Amino acid sequence: MERIISNQNARVKAWAKLATKKGRQENHTYLLDGLHLVEEAVKAGAKFHAIMATEKQMADYLPNVPHGVPAFEISEEVAKHIAGTNTPQGIFAEISLPEKTFDPSYVHDGAWLLLDKIQDPGNVGTLVRTADAAGFKGVVLGAGTADAFAPKVVRAMQGSQFHLEVLNGDLSEWVAALTANNLPVYGSQLNEKAKSYRDVEPSTQFGLIVGNEGQGMSAELAEKTTANLYIPIQGQAESLNVAIAGGILMFSLALGN
């Protein structure tokens, strides 16, 4: 097993570049940071390119490294460098980005979350994780939404990308396709003229759009939905965090979870 102690090592530089969208696109891979994510990737049958761990972590995990996957022991400093944090768990994996294409015209069932220009990585990751918990079939990231495989999003998803579809797509095309296939599509709006989410019958088949943290869902999409929903606020807060609002709507609409 190769031991790497320098941040100037060519492999380390390549792993560090996976923190950027350009680096991920060039290599067609992304980085997992932490034992839980590595184990989720193993269970999901993800394609591994490398496993990297500090001495202690490698000693504990080496018997579980998938057959044929290159393993590298790295120093604590290298771990901090590729993680971009001062407190990494000390075990990482480089795995392939998903390469599937998805035509929404073939979608005839399931609950689908559509993200319209959600920019905060933590919100994107939390929404994907919540969609997983609520039994959704997939999440579609529209233009202007944070990259699903950026490090902060990956940490926030906590492995949920292995449990449901996580796709990039044109949300206008998705709304048109879902409605053409008789799946209602609901938008979320901070507008009391919209329909209360409590008045919607729970289902297993629908689309739900949540919009940008500051601007909300685009007017163009709002005009194309089956109905736009609002969450009544009882206290003095002006609005809810988009991930919290999305969670309330997802669990309420998906068969009243």
Topology of domain 2-96, CATH = 60s Ribosomal Protein L30; Chain: A; (3.30.1330)
pLDDT confidence of residue 256: 55
Give mean pLDDT, residues 172-195. 93
pLDDT confidence of residue 254: 93
**pLDDT above 90 coverage of the chain, percent:** 84
pLDDT confidence of residue 65: 87
29-33: strand order across its sheet = 2-4, 71-74, 48-53, 91-96, 29-33
Provide the 8-state DSSP code for 164. S
Topology of domain 104-253, CATH = Alpha/beta knot (3.40.1280)
**CB of 124 within 8 A of CB of 145?**
yes
pLDDT confidence of residue 145: 98
**Domain coordinates of the chain in residue numbers?**
2-96, 104-253
pLDDT confidence of residue 99: 85
Give mean pLDDT, residues 12-32. 97
The pTM is what? 0.94
Q: What is the pLDDT of residues 88-134, one digit of tens each?
A: 899 999 999 998 788 999 999 999 999 999 999 999 999 999 999 99
Give mean pLDDT, residues 184-199. 90
| Identity of the residue numbered 67 | H
